[in-house]
Amino acid sequence: MVRSQFTSLSQLANSALLLKSQTLPKSIVRHPLKQILEHIDLVLVRRGEKVVVSVPVHLEGKHDPDGILETQHNSIEVEAEATAIPKFLTLDIEGMAAGTSKHASDVVLPAGIILVSPANTIIVHLSERSTVVEEVAVVAPAADAAAAAPAADAEKKD
């Protein structure tokens, strides 16, 4: 006997609709230890429909080696056609000087993609290395021990 995985006619109709439709994942739940998929929520989209999605930003180029590169945001929100969502966006950090930042407005967007995140969102910041040298007074422990030894001998004689 063959058992159907559908318990009602409406579930069968919904699954047939899902197979013919385009979807985007809304949320994905994985098992915390095994990392297997447990549940996926999907959103139905139409061809040509614009959606707001978070897209990762990849850094490209060499920055000033005297600075420390700090990533503030590794993705930005953009509005794109549901069938043309980029896998990632590129931010050029070539020649970036210490003490400067690159913002979301500096990311080169492909045609048809609109930035939704605030334009002044900092993606990366190149901090200046600390050049202040702290001078620590070093006390010579041998000199203190030598001065304390004759004083201790003098007290023993008294």
More confident residue, 102 or 158: 102
Name the residue ranges covered by the structural domains of the chain: 1-45, 48-152
- Partners of residue 78 on adjacent β-strands: 53, 115
| SS3 sequence of the chain | CCCCCCCCHHHHHHHHHHHHCEEEEEEEEECCCCCCEEEEEEEEECCCCEEEEEEEEEEECCCCCCEEEEECCCEEEEEEECCCCCCCEEEECCCCCCCEEEEHHHCECCCCCEECCCCCCEEEEEEECCCCCCCCCCCCHHHHHHHHHHHHHHHHHC
The residue that leads in pLDDT, 133 or 89, is 89
pLDDT of residue 66: 83
- Give the model's pLDDT for residue 7: 44
Q: pLDDT tens across 56-110, in order?
A: 999 999 888 888 889 999 999 999 998 888 999 999 999 888 889 999 999 999 9
Residue 86 pLDDT: 92
* pTM of structure: 0.63
Which one is the CATH code of 48-152: 2.170.120.20, 2.40.50.140, 2.40.50.180, 2.40.10.220? 2.170.120.20
Of the two residues 153 and 35, the one the predictor is more confident about is 35
- Given this model, what pLDDT does residue 57 score? 95
Residue 2's pLDDT is what? 39
Cα–Cα distance, 86 to 112 (Å, whole number): 11
Per-residue pLDDT tens over the stretch 7-49? 444 454 455 555 567 888 888 899 999 988 888 888 888 888 8
